[in-house]
Amino acid sequence: MRKAAFATLTASALLALAASCACAAPAAAAAAAPAAASVPPAKQALIDKILKLSNIDSVGEAMLQAPVGNAVEQARVMLQGRAAPEKRDAAMTDIVKDAKAFMADNAPLARNSADKLIPSTVAPMLAENFSEEELRQLAAVLESPVGKKFYDMLPAIKKKLGDGITADTGPVINPKLKELNEKIGLRLRTAVTP
């Protein structure tokens, strides 16, 4: 139960910070890659275990869910009282369908980006800031004093991964997100015009 709560907390915290990141630091990620190569195999295995326990690879998908969910909620609010019930319901059905299709098409891209970037962003941070024994403790008891150290690092971890995902997926996802918002706008205009 503690592990599930930690994974939920981590994913939520990562979403909040990563969604606010507008610029990236790919050079820093590339510079961190050589450090990961020098990590002893036993230490790397512990890092991999912690990354899996924290469910950090879901941050990219969570970053997509925030603006998509926001767009759907804004559409719902806009339609309330402005569209006839049958038009409102039909528009919301189509908007939710579009949002789900967007997530289905783009969530794998975001997750793949996270999977690609974690070894060069987050893993080196863990390797540099935790000893092998600390990693063992963290994996065993996520709420220990070592766990607090990890929690304290979360803002830096989130920013680094969020910057990387934004840079990696932005050119592909931003035009698609704009297209989704335009579709929603068209559906709203159709629903509210008499």
Q: What is the pTM of this model?
A: 0.59
Task: Please indicate whether residue 89 or residue 1 has the higher confidence score (pLDDT).
Answer: 89
Closest-CA residue to 135 (of 29, 59, 58, 53): 53
Q: Nearest to residue 173, comparing CAs of 121, 116, 122, 108?
A: 108
Full DSSP string of 37-84: HTS-HHHHHHHHHHHHHHTGGGHHHHHHHHHHHHHHHHHHHHHTTTS-
pLDDT digits (tens, 9 = 90+) for 86-124: 999 999 999 999 999 999 999 999 999 999 999 999 999
Q: What is the pLDDT of residue 124?
A: 95
Answer yes or no: is pLDDT of 127 > 80: yes
Q: State the amino acid at position 169 in one-letter form.
A: T
154 or 5, which is more confident? 154
Q: Tokens 């063992």 belong to which residue? A: 136
Q: Residue 37: what residue type?
A: A
Distance (Å) of CA 43 to CA 48, 57, 64, 89, 135: 9, 19, 32, 54, 7
> Beta-carbon neighbour count of residue 66 at 10 Å?
14
Rg (CA), the chain: 20
Q: What does residue 176 show for φ and ψ, rounded to 5 degrees? A: -70, -40
Write out pLDDT tens, residues 13-70.
Answer: 333 333 333 233 333 344 444 444 589 999 999 999 899 888 788 888 888 888 998 8
Distance CA 121, CA 98 (A): 33
